[in-house]
Amino acid sequence: MNDSESRNPMFNFQDCDEFLSEEDLDIGNLPWPERIKAWNLWLATMQATNDQDKDDYSHGVFLSERQKRELWGDEDDENHGADTASPPAL
């Protein structure tokens, strides 16, 4: 294995930009039984935000109307009438 393929000791670099907090990264220090407990507790606690994100998508290619407005304003509503093809009837 050459140097390019070896692991760089980046974690020892003293003056680092912080991307995730120590609290975030602490999850990786937990043994699996404790990590699962913390994971489940977090999921249960975060249920309190379900009403806020009930229509949202975190991944994939679909977005809620709110997410679309945040990204593109009302352009989809403005352009909708310009689509000359009528949708097939159900």
Partner 1 sequence: MTGNIYLDLTNEFNAGRLRAILSSGQAVVVHGLALASKDGDWILREEAECFSHILQVLEGYSASYRLGAPLDMRWMSGGWSAHFEFNHEGNRIRCDFVSRPPRLASDDLANLWEQQESGTGDNFPVPTLDLRRLALLKATRRERDYSFIGEIARRLPTVREQILWSRSARDLASLAENFPEEVRQLVAQRPLLSRIGEGRRVLQRALDEERYFMSEADENRLHAYAQAAQHWNTAWTRIRAEIADVPLRQAHKTLVQHAEKLLPEAPDERF
Q: How far is the CB of 58 from partner 1 (least distance, A)?
A: 5
How does DSSP assign 4-45, residue by residue? Answer: GGSPP-GGG-SSPPPSS-HHHHGGGGS-HHHHHHHHHHHHHH
Nearest distance, CB of residue 16 and partner 1, angstroms: 7
Return residues touching partner 1 (CB under 8 A).
3-8, 10-11, 13, 15-17, 19-20, 24-25, 27-29, 32, 35-40, 42-44, 46-47, 49-50, 53, 57-63, 68, 71-72, 76, 80, 83, 85, 87-88, 90
Instruction: Please name the helix (run of DSSP H) or strand (run of DSSP E) that holds residue 77, with its range, or none.
Output: helix 75-80
